A and B are shown apart, each in its own frame.
Chain A
């Protein structure tokens, strides 16, 4: 099989930085430039944004952001305050696994040249509650979703096969109970 796609994520797509990382949620004005303001706060203080999900809120005047962050925890409260200070940020919270649920989804394209491999991959996907969303003679795309560590685990197992590429949505977070996100 000839592969036409060159990828940079042929190595195992495990991100230990995210496991110990921080999850921030922001409720912001839905306007051009807002993301730039937020990103500059992180970049200036040498924080890396590992994952970022932006989508329009239920009220279209606002957007929801979920950010996965790695960096010196000592400076994180300062970052949250600086983000919260932005006029365009309505609020900014940090969420821990105890007070929130996080979910993300990954699409994984796996090369399968024989029936045996294909069956094994399907078994793994089934175990993680995933689905096959595309299938061709030489490859298949599977979808896995759940908490980030579950997605990590699924990808880790699939690494034993021929992963062509992976795309993750980045995590979304929601505070548990009555708390707002």
Chain B
């Protein structure tokens, strides 16, 4: 006799129960026809998951992304088929480029209509293959718990990334006929996926890395997002202190080592600090812990760290030699690698090297002019001061992002949420919403330009409804500033497609959504107005800072140029067009 089941489930309910059992806390989404059964299951299944209705599917992805970057845990994005699924692409790509865990559930047309150009049918499985860690098109209702468990496992282990589950409507609304508890308890079988290998680090490579570290006279640690994901902060600190080794961080690594620490050189790369880039040029060893040698930091690859031996620690073996061929490859989890290395590394004295770099810090500090109007740098500098550098900051991409990276220094992990690899405009504000849901007691500041904010500002409704006290800093220069900077430097100042004439009145816009709006126009008002925004906690506040229109970010390494060709201040001569892309 067949086993009597206690509860009758449909596929959608089995899916929601599984996601709940995995510990998913938030579902960000937007409903639609093909996802109806799954949305219904959110109502009929008792779960701890909270659903947040966004105003656009891209916003849902960035919210899940911001949530994950602030917590290290994935959230679920739930959208419908066709355009709903299509609107998630930029959000998924952003997460994939920056190794952020995320589970995207898309509704889909019924299976017998697939491939027939049915209403709101899109081959989202095929479309998303290049931008996901893995994806599924579910064809059996009883597969749903297994697929959801696999998706969660794949998304969160090894090098994290987004995993998409496409669920046709007939699959989600059919009866779940297997034993749910058995399916939930079943062991995963993924013969092509072995993330546990990251903890089993090759001893020979460890010994070779230790040998180079002990020989180095001018070592430099380059800490990336991988060190943060691995939770290697304390090992990194111990290593830096033991080696007396300066530490520079990538954009996404900001905070994994305290930027206020004397050994910190801040961010390196295209708009990194002059002293970090000079350290790369002059060091005799680059100890890369969890960075993928992004083109923004290496510039011209064959000149990167030309005088240095290179140790590359990465959990993803495919990163080895992709951009830079290292002298020693150490494949593994950054924390596990550092734990194995620490006992093999001798206490070192690099006082001369540090003294030399301190000279650069004094000679080339980050700064900005205090005259000539309101500058974005001042706004960021002052909000850093007012929040003691403890706020969670999210950004878009462009000038505001680079200035925020320079002037909002971080001392802790998971507080800097910025679209690095993808460079996604419109990321910052929805990411801040996700982060504020994740960390209700923290100050969350969304930093964006007037361009990026307008790409996802419809999420003001989401923030208002949930009374999220996000400080939305719109650094408004009425321009796509970074593109304009390039046109000024490399295209004879011919402005093309960068003037954002027609911007709305952001204060009135905020008020129209039921949010608070504040204008900042004069440098002398910045502190007072920012304090007013920080003191307002009844909901989101949009701070529109009217900044000077034509400021430029320095230091700057033109794309594809060598780090030694860094511009520390505006050039006095006409520059060649750079070979690299943007």
The stretch that binds B, out of A47-55, A87-95, A119-127, is A87-95
Give bound CA distance, A91 to B317, whole Å: 14
CB atoms of B126 and A85 under 8 A apart: no
CB atoms of B134 and A36 under 8 A apart: no
Binary contact track A50-91/B, C-beta < 8 Å → 1, others 0: 000000000000000000000000000110011011111111
Binary contact track B113-152/A, C-beta < 8 Å → 1, others 0: 0000000000001100110011001000000000000000
Indicate whether A36 sits within 8 Å of B192 (C-beta atoms), given known contacts A78-B318, A81-B320. Answer: no
CB atoms of B318 and A82 under 8 A apart: yes
Chain A residues whose C-beta falls within 8 Å of the C-beta of B318 in the assembled complex: 78, 81-82, 84-85
CB atoms of B192 and A40 under 8 A apart: no
CB contact list, B360-416 vs A, under 8 A: none
Report how many residues on chain A are interfacial, defined by Cβ distance under 8 Å: 20
Chain A residues whose C-beta falls within 8 Å of the C-beta of B125 in the assembled complex: 33
Q: Is B504 an interface residue, CB under 8 A from the partner?
A: no
The smallest C-beta distance from B163 to any residue of chain A, in angstroms, reads 9
Q: Is A148 an interface residue, CB under 8 A from the partner?
A: no
Select which of A28, A40, A78 is within 8 A of B321 by beta carbon. Answer: A78
Chain B residues whose C-beta falls within 8 Å of the C-beta of A84 in the assembled complex: 317-318
The smallest C-beta distance from A74 to any residue of chain B, in angstroms, reads 10
CB atoms of B129 and A40 under 8 A apart: yes
Give bound CA distance, A107 to B137, whole Å: 38
Taking residues whose C-beta sits less than 8 angstroms from the other chain, chain B's interface range is: 10 to 19
Q: Is B191 an interface residue, CB under 8 A from the partner?
A: yes
Indicate whether A86 sits within 8 Å of B192 (C-beta atoms), given known contacts A33-B125, A78-B322. Answer: yes
The smallest C-beta distance from A93 to any residue of chain B, in angstroms, reads 14
CB atoms of B192 and A90 under 8 A apart: yes
Q: Is A37 an interface residue, CB under 8 A from the partner?
A: yes
Q: Is A11 an interface residue, CB under 8 A from the partner?
A: no
The smallest C-beta distance from A89 to any residue of chain B, in angstroms, reads 5
Select which of A78, A82, A88 is within 8 A of B192 by beta carbon. Answer: A88
Q: Is A29 an interface residue, CB under 8 A from the partner?
A: yes
The smallest C-beta distance from B295 to any residue of chain A, in angstroms, reads 15
CB atoms of B129 and A36 under 8 A apart: yes
Q: Is A3 an interface residue, CB under 8 A from the partner?
A: no
For B319, give the chain A residue with the smallest CB separation.
A81
Chain A residues whose C-beta falls within 8 Å of the C-beta of B154 in the assembled complex: 87
Chain B residues whose C-beta falls within 8 Å of the C-beta of A90 in the assembled complex: 191-192
Give bound CA distance, A13 to B43, whole Å: 63
The smallest C-beta distance from A9 to any residue of chain B, in angstroms, reads 30
Indicate whether A37 sits within 8 Å of B129 (C-beta atoms), given known contacts A77-B321, A78-B321, A87-B134. Answer: yes
Chain B residues whose C-beta falls within 8 Å of the C-beta of A37 in the assembled complex: 129
Give bound CA distance, A124 to B484, whole Å: 69
The smallest C-beta distance from B332 to any residue of chain A, in angstroms, reads 15
The smallest C-beta distance from B161 to any residue of chain A, in angstroms, reads 10
The smallest C-beta distance from B570 to any residue of chain A, in angstroms, reads 37
Give bound CA distance, A82 to B190, whole Å: 17
Give bound CA distance, A66 to B317, whole Å: 23
CB atoms of B192 and A29 under 8 A apart: yes
CB atoms of B130 and A40 under 8 A apart: yes
For A62, give the chain B residue with the smallest CB separation.
B191
Binary contact track B311-355/A, C-beta < 8 Å → 1, others 0: 000001110111000000000000000000000000000000000
CB contact list, B130-185 vs A, under 8 A: 130, 133-134, 137, 154
Select which of A44, A88, A89 is within 8 A of B130 by beta carbon. Answer: A44
Chain B residues whose C-beta falls within 8 Å of the C-beta of A29 in the assembled complex: 191-192
CB atoms of B192 and A87 under 8 A apart: yes
Give bound CA distance, A32 to B138, whole Å: 11
Chain B residues whose C-beta falls within 8 Å of the C-beta of A81 in the assembled complex: 317-318, 320
Q: Is B193 an interface residue, CB under 8 A from the partner?
A: yes
Chain A residues whose C-beta falls within 8 Å of the C-beta of B129 in the assembled complex: 33, 36-37, 40
Give bound CA distance, A25 to B321, whole Å: 22
Give bound CA distance, A85 to B190, whole Å: 12
CB atoms of B193 and A36 under 8 A apart: no
Binary contact track B504-533/A, C-beta < 8 Å → 1, others 0: 000000000000000000000000000000
CB atoms of B126 and A36 under 8 A apart: yes
CB atoms of A85 and B321 under 8 A apart: no
Indicate whether A87 sits within 8 Å of B190 (C-beta atoms), given known contacts A78-B321, A81-B317, A81-B320. Answer: yes
Chain A residues whose C-beta falls within 8 Å of the C-beta of B192 in the assembled complex: 28-29, 86-91
Give bound CA distance, A32 to B136, whole Å: 10
The smallest C-beta distance from A178 to any residue of chain B, in angstroms, reads 20
The smallest C-beta distance from A83 to any residue of chain B, in angstroms, reads 9
The smallest C-beta distance from A33 to any residue of chain B, in angstroms, reads 6
For B125, give the chain A residue with the smallest CB separation.
A33
Give bound CA distance, A98 to B536, whole Å: 73
Chain B residues whose C-beta falls within 8 Å of the C-beta of A91 in the assembled complex: 192
For A75, give the chain B residue with the smallest CB separation.
B322
Chain B residues whose C-beta falls within 8 Å of the C-beta of A82 in the assembled complex: 318
24 A–B contacts, CB within 8 A, in A order: A28-B192, A32-B137, A33-B129, A36-B126, A36-B129, A37-B129, A44-B130, A78-B322, A81-B317, A81-B320, A82-B318, A84-B317, A84-B318, A86-B134, A86-B192, A87-B133, A87-B190, A87-B192, A87-B193, A88-B134, A88-B192, A90-B191, A90-B192, A91-B192
Assuming A32-B137, A90-B192, what are 4 further A-B pairs, CB within 8 angstroms?
A28-B192, A36-B126, A88-B134, A90-B191
